[in-house]
Amino acid sequence: MATAVVAQHSQSNFAGDVRAGLLRSGQKELPSKYLYDEVGSALFEVISVLPEYGLTRADERLLGRHAVDIVSRLKSDVLVAELGSGSGRKTRWILEALTRRQRTTYCPIEISPTALARCESELGQIEHVSIVGFERPYLDGLLAAASWRREHEHLLVLFLGSTIGNFDRDAGERFLAEVRRILYPGDALLLGTDLEKPLPQLVAAYDDPIGVTAAFNLNLLARINRELDADFDLAAFRHEARYNSSERRIEMHLRSLRGQTVAIARAGCSVTFAKDETIWTESSHKYRADEIPAMAQRTGYRCDGQWLDSEWPFAENLRAPFARGNHFHGPNRQDLRALIHAFESLLGFRYRLDRRNPQMDSAGGVNRHRDILPFVHDAQV
């Protein structure tokens, strides 16, 4: 066991995003990624054990049952990179299946340091697993993790829990295509997707009777109060979950119960709400199992396997990138510039390495950037 964290001095743009989302004309909105501060992450953990919210249990059940099968389809010597570290509970199944055949490096990628720390304490004790956490946005972190791998290692990218559902469909596909550009033949992506289900079941999952999801949603305003010195009256907003059937997604909103003006000191603005006006805080898209192969195809992958849960409709999808020359041709010049830019920002990394782990040692210290360059040389221009 060893852990290391590669952190970035991230100039979080919370204030700017809040300002832009609440001052825009038309539907006010806030990015859902801000739901997960320490309180929000703890509330999501509670949501995931609510009887009405079967998503997390379905995801975990599938991985518990099929991790060995999933892992058996991968080329050996795998470096695991996970987009969003979650609690780490589901990932344990994959890591344990992998350590039956190899030592495994696990790179959780997460913007929340709290979530990263929780994941490290959950998974740090597994024998033959080294953890290297990247406190970065998904694609940045994935590039960094990809540069961390050794030449013979294949990447297994985990994108579990239907987090993909938080993207609009187009943006989700663009995102998967971006991920594809970082992958090489022999790499793989394991994607969890929540599936369509009857309306009452779907709405109850996002509007539970004891109000945990409501608290999760309202905490976003509480967070703005705490971090941006705002004066939201939480009693004057109400949680709402709606199913948008044309977009096939649940939308979470916060409805203003009266006309009101809220000052947000550290965002340098005040925001006026009409009675019944809402702030749109999250979308959670739902999929049909049979649309996933086509979606894979459009974004540069083929489906190598799909596992479905019978209790709570949910799918685990294993995708392999098309071989180069077939459809995608590796990074072009423009991609390469973006890669180099990312590497430059990597050199500014602050990192902490656990000296007990010889593998980490060899990649650490001032030699760190040397590990990055071969990846550039590999790229086809």
> Residue numbers of the site for ligand AVJ (CB under 6 A)?
47, 55, 161-163, 165-166, 206, 213, 282, 284
Residue nearest ligand AVJ (C-beta atom): 284
Q: Which is nearer to ligand AVJ, 53 or 148 (CB)?
A: 53
Q: Considering the complex, what minimum distance in angstroms separates the CB of residue 360 from ligand AVJ?
A: 30
Cα 274 to Cα 271: distance, rounded to the nearest angstrom: 10
Residue among 200 and 348 whose Cβ is closer to ligand AVJ: 200
Continuous segment of H or E residues that includes residue 263: strand 260-264
| Residue with Cβ nearer ligand AVJ (76 or 201) | 201
Closest CA to 205 of 88, 342, 57: 57
- Torsion angle in degrees (nearest 10) through CA of 36, 254, 60, 134: -20
Quote the least distance from Cβ 284 to ligand AVJ, whole Å: 3
Shortest Å, Cβ 342 to ligand AVJ: 25
- Tell me the chain's radius of gyration from C-alpha atoms: 21
- Nearest residue (CB) to ligand AVJ, 222 versus 376: 222
Minimum distance between the CB of residue 53 and ligand AVJ, rounded to whole angstroms? Answer: 6
Counting every residue written for the chain, the total comes to 381
Nearer to ligand AVJ (CB atom), residue 75 or residue 242: 242
Looking at beta carbons only, is 213 or 256 nearer to ligand AVJ? 213
Cβ-based neighbour number of residue 305 at 10 Å: 15
Query: Which two tokens mark 23?
Result: 């001052």
Q: Give me the least distance between CB of 218 and ligand AVJ, in Å please.
A: 12
Residue placing its CB nearer to ligand AVJ in the complex, 79 or 241: 241
**Phi and psi at residue 302, to the nearest 5°:** -120, 150
Q: Are 240 and 279 in contact (CB under 8 A)?
A: no
Contacts of 78 (CB under 8 A, 6+ apart): 71, 98, 102, 104, 153, 154, 155, 156
Is the torsion defined by CA of 181, 184, 190, 193 positive or negative? positive
Nearest-approach distance from CB 55 to ligand AVJ, in angstroms: 5
Nearest distance in Å: CB 49, ligand AVJ: 12
Spell out the residues 6+ positions from residue 25 whose beta carbon is closer than 8 angstroms to its own: none
